[in-house]
Structure 1
């Protein structure tokens, strides 16, 4: 998708992350009273930083195609093992989960707005600026 630069691919990856994070948070909220349930979280920022590190490949001839790094669509779901909040072994903090859910919804909506803006721009270009 070099026509659209990497912006749409990055927005798509951000939406995938937000969707997975919402599922994980919903699971945590649904299991708030389940004995011995351990809360889960999605790690994305470290994976994003790792993926954005520029990879260098040596081109031995000027006619060789440039090397491009494809960002993997990997998110790490981790379990919080070291904390217990309830007497039944459960470590779900409902207040934190609700705050995370609200933050994730704002993030998701911002990505959707940006994606809509990109498509509106493309639509304008296709119509010839009208």
Structure 2
């Protein structure tokens, strides 16, 4: 029986990649909290995950690069991140404009950063559990 690692870890690998990209976007928002005219951005995790799952059908990964099958005997590829395949969204501020045009709400961004970090950690734990289960199955399979 062949082991398909993409089926084992594919979902969690995509989730970790999107969470990483989102963490960078939120960190950028926080870094530009005092930049006049800066517009807060975000990645819609659900849309990104849907896109990643649709692309994973017929896709193989090799060293972090996504290789799309272009012909039965050929492989093509790209090295873009999972979340870079769709537009960045701008946040709609909940507070009135302070006059400088900046839409970053520091406390809300910190909360999003923490929430995203916790969800990243949860995905990492799920992935770790899957790998431990596979290692256990492989080590006890030959006995």
1:80, CA displacement in angstroms? Answer: 2.0
Counterpart residue number, 1:41: 42
Answering whether residue 136 of structure 2 is matched by residue 124 of structure 1, we say yes
Larger Rg: 1
TM-score with structure 2 setting the length:
0.68
Cα gap change, 1:40/1:2 in structure 2, threshold over 3 Å: closer, same or farther?
farther
Give unpaired runs (5+ residues) of structure 1. 54-67
Give unpaired runs (5+ residues) of structure 2. 61-65, 67-81
Counterpart residue number, 1:112: 124
The 5-angstrom pairing of residues 58-73 of structure 1 reads 68-70=57-59, 73=82
Counterpart residue number, 1:57: none
Aligned Cα root-mean-square deviation (Å): 2.9
Distance in 2 between residues matched to 1:103 and 1:17, nearest whole Å: 14
Structure with the higher fraction of residues in strand conformation: 2
TM-score with structure 1 setting the length:
0.73
